[in-house]
Amino acid sequence: MWLRASCSLELGVSAPTPLLFMLRPRSGWHQWVAREEYLISPSVTAVEFTDPFGNLCQRLVAPVGDFSVHTTADIEAAEASDTAPGARLSEVQDLPEATLPFLLPSRYCESDLFTELAYQLGDGHALGYDQCAAIVQYIRDTTRYAPGSGQDIITAVDVNERSEAVCRDMAHLGIALCRALSIPARMVVGYLATLVPMDLHAWFEAYVGGRWYTFDPTQSNLNGGRVAIAYGRDAADVAIYTQFGAAVELKSMNVGVVQLLDPPS
Amino acid sequence: MWLRASCSLELGVSAPTPLLFMLRPRSGWHQWVAREEYLISPSVTAVEFTDPFGNLCQRLVAPVGDFSVHTTADIEAAEASDTAPGARLSEVQDLPEATLPFLLPSRYCESDLFTELAYQLGDGHALGYDQCAAIVQYIRDTTRYAPGSGQDIITAVDVNERSEAVCRDMAHLGIALCRALSIPARMVVGYLATLVPMDLHAWFEAYVGGRWYTFDPTQSNLNGGRVAIAYGRDAADVAIYTQFGAAVELKSMNVGVVQLLDPPS
Amino acid sequence: MWLRASCSLELGVSAPTPLLFMLRPRSGWHQWVAREEYLISPSVTAVEFTDPFGNLCQRLVAPVGDFSVHTTADIEAAEASDTAPGARLSEVQDLPEATLPFLLPSRYCESDLFTELAYQLGDGHALGYDQCAAIVQYIRDTTRYAPGSGQDIITAVDVNERSEAVCRDMAHLGIALCRALSIPARMVVGYLATLVPMDLHAWFEAYVGGRWYTFDPTQSNLNGGRVAIAYGRDAADVAIYTQFGAAVELKSMNVGVVQLLDPPS
Amino acid sequence: MWLRASCSLELGVSAPTPLLFMLRPRSGWHQWVAREEYLISPSVTAVEFTDPFGNLCQRLVAPVGDFSVHTTADIEAAEASDTAPGARLSEVQDLPEATLPFLLPSRYCESDLFTELAYQLGDGHALGYDQCAAIVQYIRDTTRYAPGSGQDIITAVDVNERSEAVCRDMAHLGIALCRALSIPARMVVGYLATLVPMDLHAWFEAYVGGRWYTFDPTQSNLNGGRVAIAYGRDAADVAIYTQFGAAVELKSMNVGVVQLLDPPS
């Protein structure tokens, strides 16, 4: 399916401030970017680089005043995310090297503190995909998805003690629990065509059965129409923008996804 | 300056054929891509990856029949390429690691066979930028730029024995001679706004004085309006498309560059 | 100065367990490995790979029973670590890409929670090296170095609330505070020839004035005789071994460093 | 099997000269380095880095006078190289990204000029491993292995016109022919325990059936006892040393491999 996804940020800048953005979805195995636009106003020199996770990042210094970034992309995305009940655990010794960093604890996913709970949840399930599914079910059973409820990013330990959370938080808990079972898990930030209310979305992927699979604690079925913007260990790696210093204020963010009836031509 | 650069390829395919393309200029220190389009017809699954030189490459299998790829990009490019007469040689022991592969001989740049000529040309010049400039002058003095004259890619040794050549060939000779003086040199394929007749262009960069500088044996001044599509050791690394098998015929290629009066908005 | 550094681990394994080790110091700008030994008993297939931070890591499956790893290396290390009072902050927009991951918060270094304290500590000091030095002084003033006191790894926030800690913890606090000032900071695990009592050691490096400098909250002067084994964002990245599952028990670890009177020959 | 492999170089240096060495075999899937020694005399600052192919390289400036490098390593190597008659061609679209550079022509392997011969040799064989085996057979049938016959490195085209060659040359021809069939092929330089007369050895690997397999045009059976020192596109990438400038003369090189009766302990 073809989607037009857009994200507009309006920032107020009170002192020149370095910013890192991650707002350029890239073409890969799961999506193809046919057309895109990345407009910066006022125009300043921006430099793009690839981070250790393969994300395209943009670096610039925002000048004082109103500053806006507007991105749009026409992207072919899968009709639905693959599922694979029964897919087996990839043993640590057989994992591709690139997946190994996603086994370690990270800022918001203290997997080292979840060993007991993870084993309890995984118990009785085939090692691998089914354990991940059980983890997702646990999160849904214990945490209510409350879009807009979470301003500050909290860690998986905190999420686990609350009864409601946002998509990012629930993904963190899922990631921490998978890693505690020696299953590589990574954060995905992106667009989801069917999201209500529309916003950027966060979910996670787990590496089982020899590849990455999508898991989404906040969505009851694995809708397609997903566009990945960035992958990372957790939200610390995939902020759509990171500011250095306190002189930038987010005035508004608008996210839109529409389905295109025809491929771009 | 803002440019709209486009490249359209029409291919005739007589058997399904894997193809690699390098047709996505990326944003970096020297250019910013504000808008781009990459249309494939008929639509097939394409996967993008980053090659060892940082180029964005697209991989797909072309189906039988007419197959076309159309790319367009709106890009901010420098008004002029930097020059630095007198910039000093970066000693091999001080070179950044990423530049070292560009010291070695490669498919079309047999730098190991040019030691004598390179030393002769460099003699009497300050080590570094001025040697590169002397090399470029030698190429201009001995080889006539004859766009369209060269179908087959020839090596630097062959170029040096001819009296006329295309931009790619002349760049190869420049690269081989620089490397023979222990100066890292790399091929650039891209667009040049002022090129007559319009086509894709090739030039080279040499690493002196702590950074890469542009050298262009076929252009009498270092016009700006350059858009880099790909970097590599020589033409073998930066073909805009590589086919595997003999079942693909290039029917037409159209390249266009126009200057935009206003930034994209 | 030439050092012979060794680390021996004796493990008890009750079920076959995948293990990752980081026990191979590598030759780099700051040290040269002239001789090394990496003995595994009983002998099992081990595979080495390079992690995203450039560390050489070894992956194997430990069989049931006693399992030991013994490493020794003869290494040339600097006589003293460089210091650079007054070295200036490298602005975020000018930082090399490879340093950027070390600006972000990580598992044990919640730099996002230290903004206020970091600015307070840095106040009145020249931006850059001197701020790092003030941070180190603060840690020394408020936390007593108590080797052996810390079994569990605690985060910088926890460290900051205690009055005594181990080298690893104190490094975490230093890293978190530096990052809060937009100064890249990374963990180093290694050997220190003058350490009493002898053990593995942890300190940190901060990127100011265009390069990495050593800071060590637990040592009153910047002794040389340092051998880096691994670099990372924090202790989660640089564990000398990581086990997957609960079936491995550390029975003993012996670390030794002696100075060699003559270079290996 | 356990081997002790050593390589000693004696160089005469008439002016300070930057040198790159590739003399540190690394532990990987096919070999484990249990002990190694890398002695430089006189002692100078050396820096190690990893090249784009994953090889550990050492960079230094050799001072005027006699200069020697002595390396020894105790390594566990396979008893025999795997073979896989019938293993199928990995289609280009399915190849891992890291294998793609090994499809392109390179300095000494003009695969673009061997299409006709390669198809002729591969004809009648199952696509994949068996084609590689047919290529090796062709090289053996037409070229006599003459150790010591080749001082200058020649390209695959030249090799194909001669009746005798050294291991390096014959590997180049094999690589060029494999790549002409869209089979990734790479050069290996290393030790071979059974080589007579003892010297460094060169062979090649081709990627078929989802992994790299060893092919050796100069050895009638695929003996084990192979230790890889470096991988690359061809000899230009894997010179055991590269000098910049003409002021270094190789006075002697001694290579030794002995089998160890017991593992190092």
Comparing CA positions, the residue from A114, A245, A257, A144 lying closest to residue A194 is A257
Do D72 and D133 have their domain in common? Answer: no
Chains that touch A (3 or more CB pairs under 8 A): B, C
Q: Is residue A265 part of a domain?
A: no
Instruction: Compute the average pLDDT of residues C171-176.
Output: 98
Please report, for chain C, how many H helices and E strands are present, in that order: 4, 14
- Token readout for C224 is 């040389």
Do A157 and A202 have their domain in common? Answer: yes
Query: Which residues are bridge partners to C4 per DSSP?
Result: C74, C258
Chain segment A187-211, per-residue pLDDT in tens: 999 999 999 999 999 999 999 999 9
Q: Which residue in the set A28, A46, A265 is minimally distant from B39, CB to CB?
A: A265
Cβ distance C29 to D41 less than 8 Å, yes or no, reads no
Residues in A lying within 8 Å of B, measured between beta carbons: 26-29, 32-41, 43, 45-50, 54, 58, 76, 263-265
pLDDT tier, C265 (very low <50, low <70, confident <90, very high otherwise): confident
Contact list in B for residue A27 (CB cut-off 8 A) is 38, 46-48, 58
Q: Is residue C59 part of a domain?
A: yes
Q: Is residue D83 part of a domain?
A: no
End-to-end CA distance of chain A: 15
Please determine, for residue B37, whether its predicted confidence score (pLDDT) is greater than 80. yes
Q: Is residue C146 part of a domain?
A: yes
Q: Is residue A179 part of a domain?
A: yes
**Residue D99 is which amino acid?**
T
User: What is the per-residue pLDDT for C149?
Assistant: 78
User: What is the per-residue pLDDT for B265?
Assistant: 84
Cβ distance A32 to B46 less than 8 Å, yes or no, reads yes
Nearest-Cα distance to chain A for B179, in Å, is 27
Contact list in C for residue D43 (CB cut-off 8 A) is 76, 263
Cβ distance D244 to B182 less than 8 Å, yes or no, reads yes
Q: Is residue B161 part of a domain?
A: yes
pTM of the model: 0.94
Cβ distance A182 to C100 less than 8 Å, yes or no, reads no
Contact list in A for residue B32 (CB cut-off 8 A) is 45-46, 48
Structural domain boundaries, residue D58: 2-78+240-260
Tell me the backbone φ, ψ of residue D93, rounded to 5 degrees: -70, -15
Please determine, for residue C67, whether its predicted confidence score (pLDDT) is greater than 80. yes
The domain tally of chain D equals 2
Q: Is residue D87 part of a domain?
A: no
Cβ distance D105 to B236 less than 8 Å, yes or no, reads yes
Q: How far is Cα A205 from Cα A232, in angstroms, rounded to an integer?
A: 10
Do D229 and D152 have their domain in common? Answer: yes
Do B133 and B192 have their domain in common? Answer: yes
Other beta carbons within 10 angstroms of residue A85's beta carbon come to 9
Please determine, for residue D114, whether its predicted confidence score (pLDDT) is greater than 90. yes
Q: What share of chain D is helix, strand, coil (3-state, %, to 5)?
A: 20, 40, 40
Cβ distance D182 to B51 less than 8 Å, yes or no, reads no
Query: Which residues are bridge partners to D10 per DSSP?
Result: D68, D252
Q: Is residue C265 part of a domain?
A: no
Cβ distance A35 to B37 less than 8 Å, yes or no, reads yes
Do C171 and C154 have their domain in common? Answer: yes
Do C73 and C162 have their domain in common? Answer: no
More confidently predicted of C178 and D148:
C178
Do A204 and A117 have their domain in common? Answer: yes
H helix intervals, C32-128 = 115-122
Do A66 and A193 have their domain in common? Answer: no
Please determine, for residue A150, whether its predicted confidence score (pLDDT) is greater than 80. no
Do C64 and C154 have their domain in common? Answer: no
Cβ distance D20 to B100 less than 8 Å, yes or no, reads yes
Do D137 and D214 have their domain in common? Answer: yes
- Token readout for C35 is 């001789």
**ipTM of the complex, rounded to two decimals:** 0.93
User: ∠A72-A78-A84 over CA atoms, to 5°?
Assistant: 140
Contact list in A for residue C246 (CB cut-off 8 A) is 115
Do A193 and A227 have their domain in common? Answer: yes
CATH of the domain at B189: 3.10.620.30
CATH of the domain at D8: 2.60.40.2250
Instruction: Compute the average pLDDT of residues A55-60.
Output: 94
Q: What percent of chain A has pLDDT over 70?
A: 100
pLDDT tier, D28 (very low <50, low <70, confident <90, very high otherwise): confident
Instruction: Compute the average pLDDT of residues D107-123.
Output: 96
Do D44 and D128 have their domain in common? Answer: no
